[in-house]
Amino acid sequence: MDNQRRKVLFVYYTFTKQTGMVVDAMAEELTARGCDVTKAALEFPDAHYGGRFSKLPMPWPIWHIVTMLVPQRRRKTGEIGIPPEAQRGDYALVVFGSPTWWLTTCMPVRSYLHSPAAKAVLDGKPFAAVSVSRRYYKGNLGDIEKLGEQAGGTWVGGTRFVSDGNQVMSMASWLVFMRKNEPRRHYFGVPLPRPNLKEDYAEQAKSYARELADKVFGSAAIGAATSSPVV
Ligand SMILES: Cc1cc2nc3c(=O)[nH]c(=O)nc-3n(C[C@H](O)[C@H](O)[C@H](O)COP(=O)(O)O)c2cc1C
C-alpha cells in the first residue's frame, strides 16, 4: 500500500486544547508509521454561539456553559470555518476529534458533519472518532457515527479520553480551570483532581492510533511502510 493510500485527515475542534493534544499525539504516531497526516482544526466564528469560545480564561464559565445546554440538546448547528484540507481530498481515513458538550458532539464538529465538505471528504471512506470530555462520551461518539454515516462514510470505531476524579470533584476542578485557564490542584484548601486529560493520555492516544492503523490499513502494510522511505 503506497503513501497516497495512507492519507489520514484529522478534523477536530478544540477550545481548551485537550482534543488538540490528543490529535497531536495520534498524528505523531501515525506519521511515525508511514502515514501522510493532515490536521484540520475547525474554527467557530458563529455570531451567536462562537464568541464565548474565543478566549480563555472564560469569564463566568457557568453562565456560558449553561446557555449552551438548549442548543446542544436540540442538536443545533452554527457557522464554522473549515480549512481547505477538510473541504475536499482523497483520504484513506478520516478521524474526528470532538469534546463532549452537553452529552453530545460539540456544535462545530456537528456543523461540519452536516456540511457539503463532510460529504465530499467522507464519500465511501472509513472514519473514526475520539471523544474528549470530563466524563461523558457515548452520546458524542454515537452522534459522530450517525452523522458521518449519513454523510457517506463507513464507521470503523471510536475511543474516549476522560478526566480523573469523581463526578463532583472533576466538575469542580474543570470549572476552576475554565475560570483561571490553568490547572489548580487546590481551591480554597480543597484538593482537586487533574482538570483535563489524564497523565497517560499520550500513550493512550498512540496506542489507539496503532489499533486504528492496523484495523484500516492492516498491520503488515503499516509495518512495511515504516521500513521504506517516506517522501
Ligand atoms: C459547553 C460545554 C459543555 C460541556 N458538557 C460536557 C458534558 O456534558 N460532559 C462532559 O463530560 N464534559 C463536558 N464538557 C467538558 C469538555 O468536554 C472538556 O472540558 C473537554 O476536555 C474540552 O475539550 P477541548 O479542550 O478540546 O475544548 C463541556 C464543556 C463545554 C465547554
Is residue 224 included in any domain, yes or no? Answer: no
Residue nearest to atom 14 of ligand 1 (CA): 101
CATH of the domain at 89: 3.40.50.360
Question: Is 14 domain-assigned?
Answer: yes
- Closest-CA residue, ligand 1 atom 18, reads 133
Q: Which domain holds residue 59?
A: 3-164+198-214
Domain assignment present for 188: no
Q: What is the pLDDT along the chain (231 residues), one digit of tens a residue?
A: 454 569 999 999 999 999 999 999 999 999 999 999 999 999 999 999 999 999 888 888 899 999 999 999 999 999 999 999 999 999 999 999 999 999 999 999 999 999 999 999 999 999 999 999 999 999 999 999 999 999 999 999 999 999 988 888 989 888 888 888 888 888 888 889 888 899 999 999 999 999 999 999 997 555 544 433 332
Residue 190 located in a structural domain:
no
In a domain, 141, yes or no: yes
Residue 15 falls inside a structural domain? yes
Number of domains into which the chain is organized: 1
127 CA distance to ligand 1 middle (Å): 22
Answer yes or no: pTM beyond 0.85. Answer: yes
Domain assignment present for residue 174? The answer is no
Is 42 in contact with 114 (CB distance < 8 Å)? no
Letter for the amino acid at 126?
A: P
Q: What is the dihedral of CA 48, 49, 55, 58, to 10 degrees?
A: 110
For residue 3, report the distance from its CA to the centre of ligand 1, in Å.
35
